[in-house]
Amino acid sequence: MTGFHAFAPATVANVGPGLDILGLALAGRGDVVSAFPGGGGRLVIRASGHPELSSDPGRNTAGIAADGVRKRAGASSMGVVLEIRKGLPLSGGQGGSAASAVAAAFATNALLGSPLSRAELLEPCLDAEEAVSGRHADNVAAALFGGVILIRSVDPLDLVALAFPRDLLVVLAEPDQRVSTGDARSRLPSDVSRGIALSQAANVGALVAALASGDFDLLRRSVDDRIAEPARAGLLPGFPEAKAAALEAGAFGCSISGSGPAVFAFAAGQAMADGIGEAMREAYASRGVRAATRVASVDPAGARLLSSEES
Ligand code: HSE
């Protein structure tokens, strides 16, 4: 019997001020997970997709999510064999662990005859993310649903799909660096002052309004993160210079993508996006850091099944 192949896209978590509560799906690259029958009643990872990723299903986000789907579907004794293909870097700030979890959940659900709805796949993906890097739903929710997602609450899960301008482009800079999400999360302050809390709340509200109305000047002002960015900038040589260069080149806001090292900047129009990308690469180079950039629109669809030819 043939398998089911699912794709889940890269994501930009936080989107500036929305630490753990805003996520955005990027068109283009992502992870692909195939689920096949077999395994003699067990869940087996036949290909982990990267030498540094475990083939132990209990220690791999794809395995944890797939197992959660089996349990929720009442199909724990059904064997599933997974093959993971990583299109996203490890520790790259592009939601790679979330994309693997989401694609695995999607493919496994299809193999089982789609007993769970798309929304019901979120919890097992969140459990998988929690096992490797803390309970935050911004990457998994955006990878699963696509678009721009606000996580109003994690327990219980309550998500809001946000309106966004269709001409919005994201310039993603990928410096030649690695940041473990665990390390980056350990840098976050456990408490913040009232002034910072109010500033973050105001900027998240303004950012939601800017996306809904297409007000790019307001967007630029609202990508202002006083919590994670100052705490993590020290982990990211070249980031302050790249951010300054992006804003100088006209970006409608720039900040760390998730826990880094990737950095995102907003743009409208390919020429503007290309100019921002070039400025960011040059800024990194001035600090001796190699960086690639790519330009992507927002992926409105999120996870999806691929045909055998596409996979
Ligand atoms: N919201 C998470 C964080 C994303 O910033 O730690 C990690 O990819």
What's the total number of domains in the chain?
2
| Closest among 217, 300, 208, 200 to 252, alpha carbons compared | 217
CB 184 within 8 A of CB 162: no
Q: What CATH code is carried by the domain that includes residue 136?
A: 3.30.230.10
Within a domain: residue 310? no
Question: Is 16 in the same domain as 126?
Answer: yes
* pLDDT score of 308: 80
Cβ(295)–Cβ(277) under 8 Å? yes
- Buried b vs exposed e over 196-224: b needs ≥16 C-beta within 10 Å? eeebbeebbebbbebbeeebbebbbebbb
126, part of any domain:
yes
Q: For residues 140 and 108, state if they share a domain.
A: yes
- The one-digit pLDDT tens for each residue of the chain (311 residues) are 689 999 999 999 999 999 999 999 999 999 999 999 999 999 999 999 999 999 999 999 999 999 999 999 999 999 999 999 999 999 899 999 999 999 999 999 999 999 999 999 999 999 999 999 889 999 999 999 999 999 999 999 999 999 999 999 999 999 999 888 888 999 999 999 999 999 999 999 999 999 999 999 999 999 999 999 999 999 999 999 999 999 999 999 999 999 999 999 999 999 999 999 999 999 999 999 999 999 999 999 999 999 887 87
The tokens describing 195, both together, are: 């002034």
In testing the pocket of ligand 1, which one of 136, 256, 264 has its CB within 8 Å of the most ligand atoms? Answer: 136
Intra-chain end-to-end CA distance of the chain, in Å: 16
Same domain, 172 and 158: no
What is the β-pairing status of strands 43-47 and 80-85? parallel
Query: Do 83 and 127 fall into the same domain?
Result: yes
**With a 6 A CB cut-off, is 65 part of the ligand 1 pocket?**
no
**β-pairing verdict for 22-37 and 80-85:** antiparallel
Confirm whether 309 is domain-assigned: no
Same structural domain, 36 and 158: yes
On whether residue 118 sits in a domain, the answer given is yes
Could you tell me if residue 23 is inside a domain? yes
Residue 117 belongs to what domain range?
4-162
Question: Taking CA 239 as the corner, what is the angle to CA 236 and CA 244, rounded to the nearest 5 degrees?
Answer: 165
Answer yes or no: do 24 and 146 share one domain: yes
User: Within a domain: residue 307?
Assistant: no
CATH number at residue 253: 3.30.70.890
The neighbouring-strand residues paired with 153 are: 158
Distance 261 CA to ligand 1 centre (A): 11
